[in-house]
Amino acid sequence: MIESVNPIKRIDAPPDAAFAVVASIGGLDRLLPLIESCRVEGAGVGARRFLRLAASAGGGEIEDRIDEIDHQRRRLRYTRTRSPFPVKSYVGTVEIRPAPEGRSEVSWRVEIDVAPEAKEELVPLLFGALSGLIDGIEHEAKQRETASR
């Protein structure tokens, strides 16, 4: 059963700064404490991102393939090729749009094919993790801005 999970948040970071965090592909372990480590092989489209989940998140390894990085539209799309969760397919799209007062609106949409018996547990868990990643984008963009001063 295909499910769409799509937290959307406004963050206090300019769109280009927020997208720079996303487009760097790696560093997800700095964005969300549930991710113990993150490493990237390759660069740009076709790169592979490997995540290790913390024991508190159930552990396990995740592998993503980067399918699109569109700097003009501030959009990154990836396919999850390995996951400890009961999904048949997983495609994620992160989009960043300008918001008033120099802020950004971040949408992190995931389309998953999840077994009906796992949906009730997995969808809220995923929504929370994606929301946390958006918060992490804001924090990381601010840290980068401070470091560049």
Task: Kindly give the confidence (pLDDT) of every residue in the chain, 149 residues in length, as a single tens digit, with 9 standing for 90 and above.
Answer: 899 999 999 999 999 999 999 999 999 999 999 999 999 999 999 999 999 999 988 899 999 999 999 999 999 999 999 999 999 999 999 999 999 999 999 999 999 999 899 999 999 999 999 999 999 999 999 998 888 77
3-class DSSP state for residue 148? coil
Residue-range domains of the chain with CATH: 2-24+67-147 (3.30.530.20)
C-alpha closest to that of 69 among 90, 51, 49, 47? 47
Residue 58 backbone class (left: φ over 0; alpha: ψ -120 to 50; beta: rest): left
Task: Using a cut of 0.75, tell me whether the model's pTM lies above it.
Answer: yes
Q: Pick from 92, 75, 89, 87: which is nearest to 129 by CA?
A: 92
Diameter over CA atoms, the chain: 50
Supply 106's token pair. 């971040």
pLDDT for 56 = 85
